[in-house]
Amino acid sequence: MNENKARSRLDQRRAPIYEALERFRQMRVVPFDVPGHKRGRGNPELTAFLGQQCVGVDVNSMKPLDNLCHPVSVIREAEELAADAFGAAHAFLMVGGTTSSVQSMVLTACKRGDEIILPRNVHRSVLNALVLCGAVPVYVNPEVDKRLGISLGMKREQVAKAIKEHPNAVAVLVNNPTYYGICSDLRAIVKMAHDAGMLCLADEAHGTHFYFGGGLPVSAMAAGADMASVSMHKSGGSLTQSSLLLIGPNVHQGYVRQIINLTQTTSGSYLLMSSLDISRRNLALRGRQVFHQVADIAEYAREEINAVGGYYAFGKELCNGDSVFDFDTTKLSVHTLDIGLAGIEVYDILRDEYDIQIEFGDIGNILAYLSIGDRPQEVERLVSALAEIKRRYRTDGSGLLSQEYIDPVVAASPQEAFYAPKKSLPLRETEGMVCSEFVMCYPPGIPILAPGERITKEILNYIEYAKAKGCSMTGPEDPEILHLNVLA
């Protein structure tokens, strides 16, 4: 579908939820409903902190404001405008984050026992969905860039092989892009999936801007994918926890709504929904220009950081036509090991000594997330700080781990392992056992271990190394990650 034509059908200057809330504000309705703070009067400290404008529209569903579970008026209009702006057959406003969007997408496509083809470097929300529905993952283990230590996209031949070997799989899921900005050949994968009678699902948590940026990788809807989870709050400018679920013309809208309503709140936040509404309007009217500027700023930052020496801010030169089919040039991903520091160490120094908060640091890289709110002067400050960190802290990097991704050995389905009888063992005594919980660094939230995977010495070494370097580890029952739950 031609994106410009798609956006010309409806008036993208409208923001129906925002407009309804403004009308409601002017009516001065007496509240005998929830929330109990009663437009902020009952909680003056909260009102002072957030402001009357904010708490005054933190309201409950009512006829003039529609209902997220079964929208018939202003929320439905907002969803129609979002679908139009993103070139989708339908769009759902999601208030449980893109986690909720991803899980609804997987639960729509899969039921217990179904196989789904996916890369292993997916966000934990995908594997959580498999725990919930009982589907079985068929992993396409991504290639790893040996220098950067990061996982790449899915190769076409790997996807074709997985489809051939698992003809009864119901769907193929693709990251578009990965956290680091790497894209698979989405159009080719969509065609392969459809030719085999499978759905193609896209986790576009980090790809909102693909729908509005010239020169950026193809968006899922433009590539013909059946469903896409889009984190509007990441690069799209809406409030944290607000997201979109987009579907194509061959997915049943009513069934998707039923799936969403299995887990999504019945008390949808109008702060989150109005932020989606206003942000969609902003992107539809100004997104193409804005994201062109973001890409330019990122390219400038790459050049400046690489000129410092020691760091490697990588970009489109990684593209190889297959496992790195395309690259998101707005992503400022920087390899740090050549200055002798792990990414998480640079992350900590930037925050603690330079008051610069980047998105994440891991074993070998950092990611500075650039989007619609960034300005050149902040990028200059980041470049200067990195130059100074190199001068002050550069050291011998021998002995540093580099590989971010370790191929898993799957011994049981995520659901089977998660609910099976289990026991807790000291970390080093779990080698060879089957894990029954998640272990990951967050962000990015890609599991090092997932339920049903065999624990190896390499994985244990990685966990201990990541902990020692200061990575924020999440997932296990034991918050110290001194013990792991394994199948009994």
pLDDT in tens, 36-80: 999 999 999 999 999 999 999 999 999 999 999 999 999 999 999
d(CA 133, CA 262): 12
Local confidence band at 17 (pLDDT 50, 70, 90 cut-offs):
very high
Q: What is the pLDDT, as a whole number, of residue 5?
A: 44
DSSP symbol at 61: -
**Domain boundaries defined on the chain:** 3-285, 289-393, 414-487
Average pLDDT over residues 303-329: 97
Which CATH number is associated with domain 3-285? 3.40.640.10
d(CA 4, CA 185): 23
Local confidence band at 441 (pLDDT 50, 70, 90 cut-offs):
confident
d(CA 311, CA 423): 44
Average pLDDT over residues 163-188: 97
What are the structure tokens assigned to 139, written together? 């992993």
- What φ, ψ does residue 145 adopt, rounded to 5°? -75, 110
Read off the pLDDT of residues 346-361 as tens digits, 9 standing for 90 and up: 999 999 999 999 999 9
Q: What is the pLDDT, as a whole number, of residue 425?
A: 97
What are the structure tokens assigned to 284, written together? 């539809």
Nearest to 455 by CA among 419, 484, 423, 421: 484
> Is it the case that residue 250 has pLDDT exceeding 50?
yes
Which CATH number is associated with domain 414-487? 3.90.105.10
Read off the pLDDT of residues 202-241 as tens digits, 9 standing for 90 and up: 999 999 999 998 899 999 999 999 999 999 999 999 999 9
- What φ, ψ does residue 23 adopt, rounded to 5°? -65, -40
Q: Is 230 helix (H, G, I), strand (E, B) or coil?
A: strand
Of 135-149, 246-260, 393-407, 444-458, least confident by mean pLDDT is 393-407
Nearest to 427 by CA among 388, 466, 393: 466
Read off the pLDDT of residues 110-128 as tens digits, 9 standing for 90 and up: 999 999 999 988 999 999 9
Whether omega for the bond prior to residue 249 falls within 30 degrees of 0, making it cis, is no
Reported CATH class of domain 289-393:
alpha beta
Average pLDDT over residues 475-482: 92
Q: What is the pLDDT, as a whole number, of residue 474?
A: 87
Residue 470, Cβ neighbours under 10 Å: how many?
A: 13
d(CA 329, CA 416): 40
Of 153-167, 286-300, 412-426, 433-447, least confident by mean pLDDT is 433-447
Q: What is the pLDDT, as a whole number, of residue 404?
A: 66
Average pLDDT over residues 161-180: 97
**Identical topology for domains 3-285 and 289-393:** no
DSSP symbol at 108: H
Element (DSSP H or E) covering residue 366: strand 365-369
Nearest to 86 by CA among 256, 179, 252, 202: 202
Q: What is the pLDDT, as a whole number, of residue 443?
A: 67
